[in-house]
Structure 1
């Protein structure tokens, strides 16, 4: 398959960089943009290349010659007057008798071209356009496709404020059938995106879109050039190729991205939660994919149509896009197994593999995007999301928005709990890898001991991240083949009804019972623990039986862990976690707001803790073997 590269751009927005050379010859990381394109073509054995030059065309021709230095065959054709992208291609129609690729010469990309070619050849359309969501759809020409990827219509900028459109943008990489020459005017200016493709669709010709999250960016501004250069130097350009497994953050929709509304069925009902666009933007600038997986039984129940869901997701895309954020994919399940609803749609009343907690949507994302589940997360507000993550082998995060885990449908525990999506994404992207490395260092000398129990004690101020680091420690131990049990000392708190104002932290925790129960556990005997309910601030009546087997590790975490002499003496590893007070205070206020306290009540409690808890706990830092900062 031949490759046609449009290399005649002036690059007027690039200032002095393109004063004496065409835009595709601007150097990025010590190579012209055009050289990156020739090298990726060569990598996929696409060695017959036509360069369409214009402004300062001799610079391109002198540099690349016939292509032998790059192991390709290059032919150059220079236009004397600007003919636009389509007009320029029309000029070389005599050399294009088979399907061919079109690159824009100001684009840096690393895409699995074999996959694009395979997609095109299977469908045999007049054109296949590589598309992707971007962070500025409001000033981009947008493409609308059906469920099969067939292009339905084009939406040229500017876009009306009251219209919601899915975020899918022409990425300036095409595979074209030679039949397209019949629709290209000869000798006059015409543009593929604005003139040719929209007319083809209107005339009933078939165009397909190949949606990929791989790296493809045009060098439209100096700022973009600097960004791309950083990505090349860091290796990000190559890591995002589809051949490499990608990390993803799977997101539930209702209660995580938008306010929870029971059976949301219209775009008007969708309203994003605070800071959601910033959280999604943070994912976009990382190497994680943002993938929504949502159950939408409103379709099966006849409360909303597929078109309604499409419009809801169009609004979601549009609102995020106005805030320079985007979702890489949205998957939804329309099914619901229970029958008997007025107006229900029988074809969707089935037991399927896509309705969470089944993993069908996640499996589809893995197939589409080559996702590494072991390195990925799911964030949800309900137990069904957590169980889905467990079933798929993902790390799970519960947020305290939406249902906040109080749906009561499944009995399962998340790996981590955070206040909202923003806090969750900051943890994943800014902190998680560093904390894992710290945990690995701490546990580097620990190995399986079939007789002896390893005891790890983790302490620190309230809301500093003790349980989070405990889970990371547990995960590392599991990977070492060391089974472990986790004890949260909050389960030995005095219930809120029994607390007195005079009680300091050492009275709020039942020190004697902690010592007695853990000593019993270490003797190989069973103990029964009543779980502390963080929302009611009382101890639940339901008891959990715990027994520690020989060779298992025991992880104990709690505010007062290092204040109890018995625990310090038995611990093999003593850890103190801390976080800057501004962040801890915000977490403290968010946490007690979630519990239902007023702002005044929280302020009063915070001041009280400054007096009767914080000094005591901070002093115990001196007993720690390791001090772990939990922020970036």
Structure 2
């Protein structure tokens, strides 16, 4: 069952000149689901649900809807294709044919079991499919990652999946916001990539662990926006193409502006929750409230003001759960 802008799906398919396009969303059961590795809207790899290491892939799963172009489903000696993720997609990727990934926050629900059908019927009765249409701009919860969703491991940042220790109740807090109709996205600086301490592949495993632990607590993020840059310099040089000034590293606002453009967010009903004055300054620069939490840096880091931006939180909370409760009460 779906309520989807099919013209937008077709446009994405055409923009990537794709043989096949998969509609994808996060899932609350990433360790039991087929998962996708995506780069700039193209599928890079598929991780079947029976994969030997189910823990640290990114939480992006086929949502049950595909758009196939001519010749996307070639025959294979008279044998039928049994599974798109196991059979068709690997064959297309091996042949060098592009497979696009169409991420969406719109309504899609499986109805292949009695419990799923009952849930879909409740959604229909509540008007949820229509409420999730992209034309309906929704309130948004934007969050930092280290120090907000998981405890900050120290000055070098998160360097491995095992560094992830969740803030109690973080996933449940996201679940409450989602139940209230919020779009939820993370915006995170990752200087470790620019330093050369973490590759993009390793970062995917780190964020995959985070997403799996959030899902185990009932929550997920619609998108994680990452800045991999740092102005440097680093004693060892770092990754040359990433050591530079940019607009996406907070307190820069590029990733906020991308979120407003790419997700069905009403900026007038959006807020940011962070543990650093950089988070607060970025929020204020785009005209939304910036709330601080006592976890992580606790907004005690230096730089209360920079380039005319005020880094003083609009309000401080004990943690992400307390912040979400007040945001929902005020919505």
Q: Does 1:292 find its partner at 2:176? A: no
> Which residue of 2 is the match for residue 131 of structure 1?
24
Specify which of 4, 8, 13 is matched with residue 120 of structure 1: 13
Indicate the SS of the match to 2:71: helix
Indicate the SS of the match to 2:21: strand
Specify which of 236, 239, 253 is matched with residue 342 of structure 1: 236
Q: Does 1:263 find its partner at 2:153? A: no
Q: Number of paired residues?
A: 324
Contact (CA 8 Å) 1:112, 1:243: kept in 2 or not?
A: no
> Which residue of 1 is the match for residue 213 of structure 2?
319
The CA distance in 2 between the partners of 1:123 and 1:409, in whole Å, is: 42
Contact (CA 8 Å) 1:183, 1:196: kept in 2 or not?
A: no
The CA distance in 1 between the partners of 2:36 and 2:54, in whole Å, is: 18
Indicate the SS of the match to 1:320: helix
Which structure is richer in relative contact order (CA contacts within 8 A, separation 6 or more)?
2
The CA distance in 1 between the partners of 2:50 and 2:325, in whole Å, is: 33
> Which residue of 1 is the match for residue 308 of structure 2?
none
The CA distance in 1 between the partners of 2:240 and 2:247, in whole Å, is: 17
Alignment deviations for residues 257-306 of structure 1 (CA, whole Å, 9 cap, x no partner): 11112222222212211111212222333311221101111222232222
> Which residue of 2 is the match for residue 215 of structure 1?
107
> Which residue of 2 is the match for residue 206 of structure 1?
98
The CA distance in 1 between the partners of 2:197 and 2:85, in whole Å, is: 38
The CA distance in 1 between the partners of 2:297 and 2:52, in whole Å, is: 35
Contact (CA 8 Å) 2:304, 2:312: kept in 1 or not?
A: no
Which shifted more, 156-165 or 228-237? 156-165
- CA gap 1:271/1:161 in 2 versus in 1, 3 angstroms: farther
- CA gap 1:189/1:363 in 2 versus in 1, 3 angstroms: closer
Alignment deviations for residues 403-453 of structure 1 (CA, whole Å, 9 cap, x no partner): 111112224332222111111122223x113xxxxxxxxxxxxxxxxxxxx
Contact (CA 8 Å) 1:142, 1:169: kept in 2 or not?
A: yes
Report matched runs for 1:139-538 at 5 Å.
139-146=32-39, 148-160=40-52, 163-183=55-75, 188=80, 190-261=82-153, 262-264=155-157, 265-411=159-305, 412-429=311-328, 431-433=329-331
Indicate the SS of the match to 1:210: strand
The CA distance in 2 between the partners of 1:192 and 1:267, in whole Å, is: 29
Indicate the SS of the match to 1:393: coil
> Which residue of 2 is the match for residue 567 of structure 1?
none
- CA gap 1:365/1:183 in 2 versus in 1, 3 angstroms: farther
The CA distance in 1 between the partners of 2:74 and 2:53, in whole Å, is: 37
The CA distance in 2 between the partners of 1:410 and 1:362, in whole Å, is: 20
Q: Which runs of 5+ in 1 are unaligned?
A: 1-107, 434-632
- CA gap 1:393/1:183 in 2 versus in 1, 3 angstroms: farther
The CA distance in 2 between the partners of 1:333 and 1:191, in whole Å, is: 35
Max radius of gyration: which structure? Answer: 1
Contact (CA 8 Å) 2:73, 2:88: kept in 1 or not?
A: no
The CA distance in 1 between the partners of 2:32 and 2:317, in whole Å, is: 35
The CA distance in 2 between the partners of 1:302 and 1:141, in whole Å, is: 30
Give the structure with the larger helix fraction: 1
Indicate the SS of the match to 2:172: helix
Residue 131 of structure 1 deviates from its aligned partner by: 0.7
Alignment deviations for residues 98-136 of structure 1 (CA, whole Å, 9 cap, x no partner): xxxxxxxxxx21111111111111222110111111111
- CA gap 1:416/1:298 in 2 versus in 1, 3 angstroms: same
